[in-house]
Amino acid sequence: MSRTRGFEIAKGFEDKNINLPVRKTKYSAGYDIEAAEDTVVPSFKKGMNPTLVKTGLKAYMQDDEVLMLYNRSSNPKKKGLILANSVGVIDKDYYGNVDNDGHIMFAFYNIKDEDIVIKKGEAIGQGVFQKYLVTEDDNAEGERVGGFGSTSK
């Protein structure tokens, strides 16, 4: 049986009781994704890096698909959490890469005055699988050589 698309537990998280993402309603586009561990997201200060919140997940998909990571709609108002990259993009060839096995993480900034604690198992965002198109003169032949942020290396 061939696999189409889905989520798996990333290496190193097999014994961490990670829940695979689920859609909560019949017509939901997004799969709710939870934090793999307690994480403190410090209050933003100029020049700081975003906090990477681990999910313990990786995703597999078809050649012409991408997994888009979106913030929870309640995160900015209730917790002050915004995604550093607005929308995360998980490419098919991120799955199983040698650097981190394709481990999916959310990059958050906290715009509140106080630090925010994300608890293990708390929903932090959602993933939406989508088809994408390429131009007629596309000739991309490069291969991924690493994990997070490695596309341009």
Please indicate, yes or no, if residue 145 is contained in any of the structural domains: no
Range of 90's domain? Answer: 6-131
Is residue 57 one of the residues assigned to a domain?
A: yes
Listed as ranges, residues in the chain with pLDDT below 70 are 144, 146-153
Domains contained in the chain, number = 1
pLDDT, residue 25, reads 96
Q: For residue 140, what pLDDT is reported?
A: 79
| Cα 27 from Cα 120, distance rounded (Å) | 26
Nearest to 7 by CA among 119, 124, 115, 94: 94
Predicted confidence at residue 75, as pLDDT, reads 96
Indicate yes or no: pTM above 0.95: no
Q: Which phi-psi region, left, alpha or beta, contains residue 121 (left: φ > 0; alpha: ψ -120 to 50)?
A: left
What is the reported pLDDT for 141?
Answer: 79
The chain-wide mean pLDDT, for the chain, equals 93
16: domain CATH number is: 2.70.40.10
